[in-house]
């Protein structure tokens, strides 16, 4: 028998032996090290939030060096809700979602988020936790608070002997004095529909939800409407009033351009939120800014506060304990909290954190808080979800552009009333 035949026979014998008895004994096999556990984070960001993910990542990377954090940052107003919904339907829900407190209610109702253990939110004030609590559980880690109202240039007001208005009549007087002296009354921007949605809710909060917190429920029941409602008509016309007393190109510019012009003293007032302070502080080193509520007919408007940046836990079985540990680090790290509120010019929700002295309007805020003249926007946002607000705002933009009638906008809002809330699944 030649050598080739012998080799084939040996190989066949070994193959049969291996098939029956398993592999031949050998030394220990060293496998590749297991891959890092992964935590996915979907961050819905407003304009002032960009950059906070790097601050958070730096802290998490140091605390959890063996964890791979995968971030996806999207615009909160235009993309966040659709991204969350799409990932939920596809079964690819992120471990952590970063949105706003107003997201908590609809996402809880939809089964998208899970309740948090107490250690995650142990350092958060009870007042802040109230807006993310439901059915005996806490479903969000509220992290920052933004203020909303009319920011005004104190130097301009002082120059013309003006005081902050409380009624619509007083506001008219302020605008008339400013324009007689060739000063633009309002810095504003109407390039984005979310601006109209935000302003509408500011108007609705003081003139509707402050006295009727269940207005949204009555709206969905058909007891009240947008169309044919003189109060709501007047609130929508506030947008037109601001546009008419703003920059000539206000319909075309964006938030950044509007905020920069205000910071330069090119307008006396700016109906916005503390997110605008970031752009102002970066453009102008010294500007004396105050804040007051947008006036109403009764003269009792309150300054608005919104629990803004909010961390939520995806409702999934994987990585539960690790996600809790990550959120606990975020929710108890005072140095990180201070760094973020200093950066975005906001207030912290941490119980033991001192008032953030870097916020330009802190003195005014203290006055309104001590005199019980502050109102949480959560009351309105829980009655009319943001997707509905923004949808109606897009129609209102067509009206302001002269492409639709106001009554058409109000009728559209009524037709879409079923989308103004998210029902439990």
The predicted model gives 72-94 an average pLDDT of 92
According to CATH, the superfamily of the domain at 148-305+376-419 is Periplasmic binding protein-like II (3.40.190.10)
Q: Is the pLDDT of residue 14 over 70?
A: no
pLDDT of 317 > 70? The answer is yes
At residue 13, does pLDDT exceed 70? no
pLDDT of residue 358 exceeding 50, the answer is no
Contacts of 256 by beta carbon, 8 Å cutoff, 6+ apart: 47, 279
Q: What's CA 159's distance to the chain center, in Å?
A: 36
Phi/psi of residue 311, nearest 5 degrees: -95, 135
Question: CA 115: distance to chain centroid?
Answer: 19
Residue 171 to residue 166: CA distance in whole angstroms: 7
CB contact at 8 A, 151 and 269? yes
pLDDT at 335: 95
**Is residue 256 a contact partner of residue 283, using CB atoms and an 8 Å limit?**
no
Q: What is the pLDDT at residue 39?
A: 97
pLDDT score recorded for residue 423: 66
Range of lowest pLDDT (69-73, 82-86, 421-425): 421-425
pLDDT at 196 over 90: yes
pLDDT of res. 34: 59
Specify the residue for token string 């935590």: 39
Fold of 38-146+306-369: D-Maltodextrin-Binding Protein; domain 2 (3.40.190)
Predicted model pTM: 0.83
Torsion of CA 354, 355, 359, 362, to 10 degrees: -160
**pLDDT score for 52:** 94
Q: Does the structure show a pLDDT above 80 at 17?
A: no
- Beta partners for residue 369, in sequence order: none
Q: Would you place residue 240 in the very low, low, confident or very high pLDDT band (cuts 50, 70, 90)?
A: very high
**pLDDT score at 359:** 66
Is pLDDT of 141 > 80? yes
**CB count in 10 Å sphere of residue 273:** 24
Taking the C-alpha atoms of residue 146 and residue 377, their distance in angstroms, rounded to an integer, is 10
- Determine the pLDDT at residue 10: 37
Of residues 248 and 81, more confidence is placed in: 248
How many Cβ atoms sit within 10 Å of the Cβ of residue 246? 24
Question: Distances in Å between the alpha carbon of 76 and those of 84, 131, 378?
Answer: 11, 19, 17
Across the range 260-265, mean pLDDT stands at 93
Kindly tell me if the per-residue pLDDT of 1 is higher than 50.
Answer: no
The residue to which tokens 């007051």 are assigned = 292
What is the average pLDDT value for the chain, to the nearest integer?
A: 88
Q: What percent of the chain has pLDDT over 70?
A: 89
* Residues in CB range of 159: below 8 A, 6 or more apart: none
Cα Rg of the chain (Å, integer): 28
pLDDT band at 184 (very low <50, low <70, confident <90, very high): very high
Nearest to 124, CA basis, from 138, 97, 142: 142
Tens of pLDDT, residues 373-424: 999 998 899 899 999 999 999 999 999 999 999 999 999 999 999 999 876 5
Residue 47 has pLDDT above 80, yes or no: no
Domain with CATH 3.40.190.10 in the chain: 38-146+306-369, 148-305+376-419
For 212-234, what is each residue's pLDDT tens digit? 999 999 999 999 999 999 999 99
Q: pLDDT confidence of 276, banded at 50, 70, 90?
A: confident
- Report the distance separating Cα 235 and Cα 237, nearest Å: 5
């Amino acid at each position: 028998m030649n050598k080739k035949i012998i080799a084939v026979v040996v190989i066949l014998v070994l193959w049969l032996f291996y098939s029956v008895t398993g592999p031949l004994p050998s030394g220990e096999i060293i496998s590749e090290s297991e891959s890092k556990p992964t935590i996915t984070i979907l961050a819905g960001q407003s304009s002032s939030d960009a950059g906070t993910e790097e601050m958070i990542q730096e802290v998490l990377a140091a605390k959890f060096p063996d964890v791979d954090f995968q971030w996806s940052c999207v615009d909160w107003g235009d993309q966040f809700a659709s991204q969350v919904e799409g990932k939920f339907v596809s079964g690819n829900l992120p471990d952590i979602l970063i949105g706003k407190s107003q997201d908590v209610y609809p996402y809880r109702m939809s089964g998208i988020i899970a309740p948090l253990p107490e250690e995650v939110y142990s350092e958060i004030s009870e007042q802040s936790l109230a807006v993310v609590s439901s059915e005996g559980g806490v479903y969000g880690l509220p992290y920052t608070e933004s203020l909303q109202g009319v920011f005004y240039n104190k130097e301009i007001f002082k120059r013309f002997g003006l005081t902050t208005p409380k009624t619509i009549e007083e506001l008219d007087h302020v605008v008339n004095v400013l324009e007689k002296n060739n000063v633009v009354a309002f810095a504003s921007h109407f390039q984005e529909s979310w601006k109209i949605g935000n302003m509408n809710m500011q108007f609705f909060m003081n003139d509707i939800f402050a006295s009727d917190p269940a207005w949204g429920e009555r709206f969905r029941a058909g007891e009240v409407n947008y169309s044919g409602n003189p109060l709501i008509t007047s609130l929508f016309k506030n947008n037109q009033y601001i546009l008419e007393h703003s920059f000539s190109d206000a319909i075309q510019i964006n938030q950044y351009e509007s905020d920069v012009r205000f910071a330069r003293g090119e307008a006396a007032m700016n109906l916005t939120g503390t997110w605008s302070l970031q752009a102002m502080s970066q453009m102008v080193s010294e500007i004396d800014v105050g804040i007051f509520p947008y006036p109403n007919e009764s003269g009792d408007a309150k300054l608005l506060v919104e629990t803004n940046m909010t961390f939520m836990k995806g409702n999934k079985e994987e990585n539960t304990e690790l996600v809790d540990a990550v959120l606990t680090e975020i929710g108890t790290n005072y140095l990180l909290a201070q760094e973020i509120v200093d950066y975005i010019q906001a207030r912290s929700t941490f119980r033991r954190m001192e008032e953030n002295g870097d916020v330009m309007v802190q003195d005014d805020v203290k006055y309104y808080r001590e005199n019980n003249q502050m109102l949480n926007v959560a009351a309105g946002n829980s009655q009319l979800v943001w997707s509905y607000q923004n949808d109606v705002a897009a129609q209102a933009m067509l009206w302001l552009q002269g492409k639709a009638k106001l009554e058409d906008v109000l009728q559209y809002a009524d037709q879409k009333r079923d989308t103004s809330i998210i029902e439990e699944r």
